[in-house]
Every structure is written in C-alpha cells, then in structure tokens.
Amino acid sequence: MRRKPYVFITRELPDSTIEPLLDLARVSMWEESDRPVTRRRLEVEAAEADALLTMVSDPVDRELLEGAPNLRVVSNMGVGYDNVDLEAANELGILVCNTPDILTETTADLTFALLLASARRITEASELVRSGSWQEWGPMLMAGRDVYGKTLGIVGMGRIGTAVAKRASGFNMNILYHNRTRKKETESVTGASWVELEELLQESDFVVCLAPLTEETKRMFSYEQFRRMKETAFFINASRGGLVYEKGLVKALEERQIAGAGLDVFEEEPIDPGHPLLSFPNVTVLPHIGSASVDTRKEMARMASRNIAHVLKGYRPKAIVNRVE
Ligand code: DGY
C-alpha cells in the first residue's frame, strides 16, 4: 500500500485552516503558536516530510532542504519568502509557494496606521497618559506632524504599495514612488508619479519601504539615504528589516537627520530589548504584525494549506515563487 504523504506545520494553527490537508495526508504541527519550532525538531520533521508549511520566521536553508529527501513543497505562510533558499529549492526540485493578495489590504492598513502613529506620536502620547505623566492640556503638548496634503514616497510599488497609495489619495497626499518598473495603472488610479530614488528621498515627508528583501535591496536604506531625507520626514518600514542598515538609521536619528521612524520589522527579530533603536521616543515600533488581523491570518493559513493540497493532488498551485517544473 502507498504511504500517505506527511505534512509538517511549523506553528500551531487553528484546525479549521488545515482542513484541506486532513483527507490527503498525515499532518502534524509544532505544538506552540507563539514560539518557533526548534531547529532540531524541524530537521527531524523535514527528513520525513513530503510538505512543510512554514512561517516567514523559519530559516528554510540549503542544509535543511538537502536533509529532506521526500520534500516536494515548502508552503510559506506569508507573501515574503526571503527566509527560503530558492536557489537550493530550484536545484533540488522543491516547489516553494507563498500567500499573495489575501493580505494586501490588511498590510496596507497597518502600514498606514504606522505612518499615522509616527506622525501624530500616538504611542508616545498614549504612554504619557498611562504612565501618569500627563499633567495639563498644553498648546503644543505632543504636537506631531500633519499627514493630509503631505508628500508620500513609496519605495516598492507592488500590490501593497498600490493599496497604501489608494489610502494616501484619500488623505489628499501627493504620491511619489520608486520601483523597477513603472506602474501605469496605479499612477492613473492614485495620481502617483514615478521618480528616481534620490528625488523621492529629498521630496517626501514620509518614505515608506515596501520593497521585497532580495540581494539587490538588502540594506538599501543606510545613513546616506536617511541623510538625504528632510529633517521633518519620517521613515516607515513594513517590509523586511534586512532592507535597512540599522546602525545607519540610529546614526541618522541621533543626528536628527530625520524626524522619526515607524518600524514593523527589524534586522533581527525579535529585536533585542536593549537595541539602541528602542531608546528613541520618536521611533514607533511593532512586532512584525503587518498582516496580523484574525481573518487575514486564518485566510493565509488556509491558502498555505491549499497550496500543499494542490501539490499532493498533482496540480500546480498558482502561488509558486520558484522555477521548478
Ligand atoms: C508576509 O506576508 O511576508 C508578512 O511579513 C507576514 O506577516
């Protein structure tokens, strides 16, 4: 009798989201939802698995893939897949899938929330109240910066960038963007204009990073880029921490080259509580929650399960991100 395929899921997910797999495979999960699977356990499971359902925080590297002789698909629960060694997966004939589209609007909401929170000092002001330090109403108390009518510069005009631009047009913002390719449709819907990165950095009141992390984009924001921004401008990152050289950002903040930053992502996650970035009151920080609404996260888990189910049934899922026939 043919052996039933084996699927390992690297985090505890709600049962309803893995239904597409239950008739097709033996399924097991890492038992915790808030702590990542240990490397040892992942290696042991990968050695047996036909499919892995992974999180964006799991390093799926060459060593792991080479130790997985039955593996046919890595289904990553996220639109980003920089945690997976695509070159190794290509060589080994392992499909890699992601979960695009379904998280676009949720992530755009969070990106815009981070922009608003940074400009209007929301977390700082909230902390003032909670800590009992709010003494009096004051004419300039917690005065921040306006968002409406200002210039937004989006670096990486993909689906999420476009959704952020739509929100910004409702705030009557002037929208600039920089992307490898021109996005004519986005331009006509939102009025966004393509500019060189240099011009975007110089002109924007809010520079929003939404480009994917690749060899080309790694550390594309360093001290030099922050120094070119306006002293009144904010840097917002809702993509990947690896796009930023954090020491350069710290230096720019120390020298007040920019007004502040809003960061949902970091070079190292979770960020060390003693990291210098956390010492600036004008840096709003979040724990990588771009797509974290209950509905969207469940939908992402379902899509990641469906991607595996398709492969096990012998079909090609739509959301394949590598080159394997
Ligand atoms: C993604 O989808 O890549 C996000 O970063 C996960 O929330």
Phi-psi region of 111 (alpha: psi -120 to 50; beta: other; left: phi over 0): alpha
pLDDT of residue 2: 72
Give the closest residue (by CA) to ligand 1 atom 1: 78
Ligand 1, atom 3, residue with closest C-alpha? 80
Print burial letters for 119-151: b (CB count within 10 Å at least 16), e (below 16): bbbbbbeeebeeeeeeeeeeeeeeebbebeebb
Chain centroid to Cα 59, Å, comes to: 15
Centre of ligand 1 from the C-alpha of residue 23, in Å: 28
Residue with the smallest CA separation from ligand 1 atom 2 is 78
Report how far ligand 1's centroid is from the alpha carbon of 290 (Å). 7
The pocket around ligand 1, CB under 6 angstroms, is made up of 56, 78-80, 103, 290-291
pLDDT by 10s per residue, the chain, length 325: 678 999 999 999 999 999 999 999 999 999 988 899 999 999 999 999 999 999 999 999 999 999 999 999 999 999 999 999 999 999 999 999 999 999 999 999 999 999 999 999 999 999 999 999 999 999 999 999 999 999 999 999 999 999 999 999 999 999 999 999 999 999 999 999 999 999 999 999 999 999 999 999 999 999 999 999 999 999 999 999 999 999 999 999 999 999 999 999 999 999 999 999 999 999 999 999 999 999 999 999 999 999 999 999 999 999 999 989 7
Residues 6+ apart with CB under 8 A from 114: 236, 238, 262, 263, 264, 284, 286
Ordered by where they begin, the domains of the chain are 6-102+294-312 (3.40.50.720), 104-285 (3.40.50.720)
Taking the CA of residue 265 as reference, the ligand 1 atom at the shortest distance is 5
Residues involved in catalysis: 240, 269, 288
Output phi, psi for 225, to 5 deg.
-70, -40
CA of 113 to the centre of ligand 1 (A): 16
Q: How far away, in angstroms, is 148 Cα from ligand 1 center?
A: 28
Closest ligand 1 atom, residue 292 Cα: 7
pLDDT for res 214:
97
